[in-house]
Structure 1
Amino acid sequence: MSTAARVRVLVVALALLAAVAIAYTLHAAGRTDERDKPRAGGPPVQTGQFDLTGKGRILFRNMAWGPQRDHLASVALNGTGGVRTAMPLTCYKFNAAGGTAVCVEAKRGPVNSFSVVIMDSRFRELRRYAAGGGPSRTRVSPSGRRVAWTVFVSGDSYAGVNFSTRTSIVDTRTWQRVKNLEEFRVVKDGKPYRAADVNFWGVTFADDDTFYATMATKGKTYLVRGDMKSRTVRTLMRNAECPSVSPDGTRVAFKHRIAGDTSALPWRLHVLDLRTMKETATAERRPLDDQVTWLDDRTLLYAIPAEYESDQYEVPADGTGEPRLVMKAAQVPVVLR
């Protein structure tokens, strides 16, 4: 084929590709996103405003289909089945404590990108960081001074072993930042430990200096206790993931991996007493993948996969009772006590 013929073929091919692209764009522009359509039987949602100064409420990511899906919402603790109020703030992940909030915003596109936005009690932006990966977990210390977040650098699930994470912690007073928790010294089983495959995720704060998290290495997971002053983490036990420390600081709820379970959700909800190191299985027997919230010192709040992606259930932390549905179509709840 001559050079002129090749050029003509290339021009025709480019024109066809352009026509297809334009047609798809016009089709997409005129299409109603199914996510924006409310579904019958879903939780009632109204538009409004709120902040972190109120008490007796739960803030959460609204998952009900409709124009407020993914928006930050609020509902009364004593009326979680009632009308929820959603504000025009979209948070893929969310947490708050001590007058500080962290919202992970998603920018949709051919390649999704995420920003970690730290806000004050009225949701005014204080700092913004590029997430640098797919967001996973985020937590704020009780005083609001420390904010932690984890992103997937590769992979997108904790169920397998082919993933890598990066966990950052920032001080909201000085804005000094630990860019990667892997910078900390590791003491494993009482001995200094170094390995190239160490990953951390699921930070939960007892106070501004003490935190708990998951550490993975050599195909095994560990609950670790971290100290911000000494920049050290120490292993406490094996097979504990995504910990959540109780308000009184005496227990940690976590995902216990079931040996031999190769499903997408190989975990069950357990609680560890930090004083006795006794592990208790809760009455929730269904598989889950969540960093749970303590509703109070006796009760756990957590997500179970459901029609609207996830519903929130509660169960006693001491192994008694039965799971109870608290909220439909909700994720990442924060309790304003």
Structure 2
Amino acid sequence: MTPLRRRLLILLTAVLLLAGLGTGVVLHAAARADRAGQLQSGGPAVSAGTLTLAQKGRLAFVNAAAGPHRGAVASVPSTDPKDGRIASNLKCVRFYAAAGTGVCLQSVTGVLKQSNRALLLNAELRTRHTFALAGTPSRARVSPSGRFVAWTVFVSGESYSSAFFSTRTSVLDTRTMRLTPSLETFSVVLDGKPYHASDVNFWGVTFASDDDTFYATLGTANHTYLVRGSLSRRTVTSLVQNVECPSLSPDGTRIAFKKRVLSGTSLWHEYVLDLRTLHETALAERHSVDDQATWLDDRTVAYALPANGKVGTTDLWTVPADGTGSPRLLIAGASSPAPL
């Protein structure tokens, strides 16, 4: 090999080594940026990390921001919800947690059919038990003590605004692992009389702190009712009409719910019902809220609304529970809030 060829070979080798080094630096920086949770310009910072249900002072939710952690259970500080979010490796369609117990509803579209399941979670977000679901996930709740878990699925139809839909609501005792597959097996008292009908549907369970009382929506004969139920007696009793997706306040005195209305383009408005007087208070949110609201404390409720210009994405908003004030954006790109 001539000296000229040798020099050219050395120069070419050096160029290739430098190019490889530059590529490695770029890939390492990209991987580090991904680990740090840096998404597209303008998106929230989402970092992979450890999330437990024992982390007090944090708000857990399903992350809906674009990126590799979309659909993952994440959390932010309750006092600073716009801070960077920590994402787990657990992905859910619906999620809720209380007292170190969590429930995750998952839906996976397969080649031939959709696979749906409920995961009972411990405080470390590890799966204690898996349950097959009869339909598409809709609502999920955990009792304040963590003993009872409930979920609702669409057996037919995909929305509460559909002309025809049917639901199935199940309740699990996490202490005995006894599952009630459907609340439709409970005895119904409607307007003070025993009631039986083939079109009875239940959805949107919310639990009281006594590990027996619960509230839910009963749908039948084109009407919806707020019902109070007893898990031990396996009964439900109607209270008032036109109540959907109830959510019991932490002090157990009020129910936040969506009420079907005919006002412009809105289908549902958010209200709060005083259980002692049955007086309803309209909340300041004027958009249609198709969600089961969550109480962040005794004064504030949170709910999901479709995000502007983002298909299939919701933002979390809050509003005072006494009808005053105005809606406030809580977390962009999020759903299924659960205060820890």
Q: Quote the residue 2:255 is aligned against.
A: 252
Alignment of 1:110-149 (within 5 A): 110=111, 111-149=113-151
Q: Of the candidates 310, 318, 337, which is equivalent to residue 322 of structure 2?
A: 318
Deviation at 1:127, TM superposition (A): 1.1
Structure 2 residue ranges without an equivalent (≥5): 1-37
Partners of 2:109 and 2:262 in 1: how far apart? 37
Alignment of 1:32-181 (within 5 A): 38-110=39-111, 111-181=113-183
Q: Quote the residue 1:332 is aligned against.
A: 336
Is contact 2:47–2:86 with CA below 8 Å preserved after alignment? Answer: yes
* Alignment TM-score, normalising by the size of structure 2: 0.85
Q: Of the candidates 191, 195, 199, which is equivalent to residue 193 of structure 2?
A: 191
Residue deviations 1:78-122 (CA, integer Å, cap 9, x gap)? 111111011111011101111110011222323221110001111
* Alignment TM-score, normalising by the size of structure 1: 0.86
Partners of 1:105 and 1:165 in 2: how far apart? 17
Deviation at 1:249, TM superposition (A): 0.3
Q: Quote the residue 1:206 is aligned against.
A: 208
Partners of 1:115 and 1:283 in 2: how far apart? 36
Partners of 2:129 and 2:100 in 1: how far apart? 15
Partners of 1:289 and 1:234 in 2: how far apart? 24
Deviation at 1:328, TM superposition (A): 0.2
Give the number of equivalent residue pairs. Answer: 299
Q: Letter of the aligned partner of 1:192 in structure 2?
A: P
Identity of aligned residues (%): 54
Deviation at 1:273, TM superposition (A): 0.4
Partners of 1:57 and 1:38 in 2: how far apart? 22
Q: Secondary structure of 1:79's partner?
A: coil
Q: Quote the residue 1:32 is aligned against.
A: none
Partners of 2:330 and 2:42 in 1: how far apart? 16
Q: Letter of the aligned partner of 1:102 in structure 2?
A: V
Q: Secondary structure of 1:138's partner?
A: strand
Partners of 1:40 and 1:311 in 2: how far apart? 18
Q: Of the candidates 210, 224, 227, which is equivalent to residue 224 of structure 1?
A: 227
The two structures, once aligned, show a CA RMSD in angstroms of 1.5
| Larger Rg, first or second structure (1 or 2) | 2
Partners of 1:327 and 1:260 in 2: how far apart? 27
Where has structure 1 moved over 6 Å in runs of 4 or more? none
Q: Secondary structure of 1:284's partner?
A: coil
Is contact 2:106–2:137 with CA below 8 Å preserved after alignment? Answer: no
Partners of 2:273 and 2:145 in 1: how far apart? 23
Alignment of 1:11-50 (within 5 A): 38-50=39-51
Structure 1 residue ranges without an equivalent (≥5): 1-36
Q: Quote the residue 2:5 is aligned against.
A: none
Q: Secondary structure of 2:79's partner?
A: helix
Q: Secondary structure of 1:182's partner?
A: helix
